[in-house]
Amino acid sequence: MDQRFPEKLHPILAENQPLHESLWLGIGGPARFLARPRRFDEVVQLCEAAKAAGIAVRLLGQGSNVLVREAGFDGLVIALTAPETATLRIEGDTLVAGAGAKLNDAVIETVGAGLAGLEHLVGIPGSIGGAVVGNVSAEGRDIGSAVRSVEVIDDQGARREMKAEEAGFAHRKSTLAGLAVLQVTFALEKKDVQSLTKRMQKLWIHRGQRRPADSPRIAMPFIDPDTISARELILQTGLAGVREGNVSLDSAEPHYLIAHEGATSDQCLALVGRVREQVLLQTGIDLQLNLQIW
């Protein structure tokens, strides 16, 4: 193992590890280093060692919006899959969630406890960390509106808590990008379990019907602008079903990108670039990327 990492971290580190198996699109080469920390303190130690050695770091949650090039990622990928880094803990009217926890699991857990504030996000893929960094939204409300605080590793490598107002939540973005998010505390509201459950189930069915059922390798490449959805923009510009090699947009739900057998990262990027260019030319709207490209 590379000696730039302390020996005590070697058991959780591996070199030249494939990433495509952990990504929804199933595309991409290996990570130079892949770590699976068991505890938050190990995440801090990994980040400290990588910073000292000048090694780039990426945190990996559910892999729903990550595209890795075939050359791979020449740095350290920290997979937040351990129980502590993916924990969900309800304390009164708050939820403490590890960054690696599934957003859907957090929704189900809080609804079952009669806590409102996240139920509108059901059916949206990804992890808590990614959802908060990107300030994911649905039904006119973003996740940042329910955040009380975020625990991060800051630019100096220190573990600290940021209040919600420090996180700079805005439409589909925050100032957390570039920081390692460890866990998030949500301030929720006591509500009737039955009514919450009904609302969640209705949204879940609706979103499930609009997802390509026969295409497991999918991603949503674009962020919805604040005035119109990416889906509507793509439909209006006649780009539904457009294809580039072995990558296409779904014909009915074109905000989904589908990676068919033999798909490559270059094909994904070519298609995304083509769609962005046409939407900008025809509507004047510059679609922003939801995909994180490594």
Is 289 found in the same domain as 250?
A: yes
* Residue (of 61, 90, 74) closest to 30 by Cα position: 74
Is 234 found in the same domain as 168?
A: no
Is 276 found in the same domain as 240?
A: yes
- Residue 2 in any domain: the answer is no
Is 230 found in the same domain as 173?
A: no
- Residue 226 in any domain: the answer is yes
Question: In the listed set 149, 173, 208, which residue is the last one of a domain according to the structure?
Answer: 208
Q: Are 173 and 134 in contact (CB under 8 A)?
A: yes
The domain of 251 spans 218-293
Q: Which residues participate in catalysis according to the annotation?
A: 172
Number of domains in the chain: 3
Looking at residue 73, its pLDDT comes to 98
Supply φ then ψ for residue 246, to 5 degrees. -105, 25
- Return the SS3 of 69: coil
The CATH number of whichever domain residue 157 belongs to comes to 3.30.465.10
Q: Which helix (H) or strand (E) holds 138?
A: strand 137-138
- Residue 52 in any domain: the answer is yes
Is 93 found in the same domain as 71?
A: no
- Residue 115 in any domain: the answer is yes
Question: In the listed set 79, 105, 133, which residue is the last one of a domain according to the structure?
Answer: 79
Is 227 found in the same domain as 157?
A: no
The CATH number of whichever domain residue 263 belongs to comes to 3.90.78.10
Could you tell me the two tokens for 287? Answer: 């679609």
Per-residue pLDDT of the chain (294 residues; tens, 9 = 90+): 778 999 999 999 999 999 999 999 999 999 999 999 999 999 999 999 999 999 999 999 999 999 999 999 999 999 999 999 999 999 999 999 999 999 999 999 999 999 999 999 999 999 999 999 999 999 889 999 999 999 999 888 889 999 999 999 999 999 999 899 999 999 999 999 999 999 999 998 888 777 886 778 999 999 999 889 999 999 999 999 999 999 999 999 999 999 999 999 999 999 999 999 999 999 999 999 999 999
Question: In the listed set 79, 101, 130, which residue is the last one of a domain according to the structure?
Answer: 79
* Cα–Cα–Cα angle for 183, 184, 186, rounded to 5 degrees: 155
- Residue 17 in any domain: the answer is yes
- Residue 47 in any domain: the answer is yes
CA 183, chain centre distance (Å): 14
Is 151 found in the same domain as 257?
A: no
Is 106 found in the same domain as 73?
A: no
Q: Which helix (H) or strand (E) holds 208?
A: helix 193-209
- Residue 25 in any domain: the answer is yes
Could you tell me the two tokens for 263? Answer: 């798909």
- Residue 1 in any domain: the answer is no
Is 166 found in the same domain as 256?
A: no
Q: Which helix (H) or strand (E) holds 200?
A: helix 193-209
Looking at residue 141, its pLDDT comes to 92
* Cα–Cα–Cα angle for 189, 200, 222, rounded to 5 degrees: 100
Is 110 found in the same domain as 128?
A: yes
CA 210, chain centre distance (Å): 19
pTM of the model: 0.92
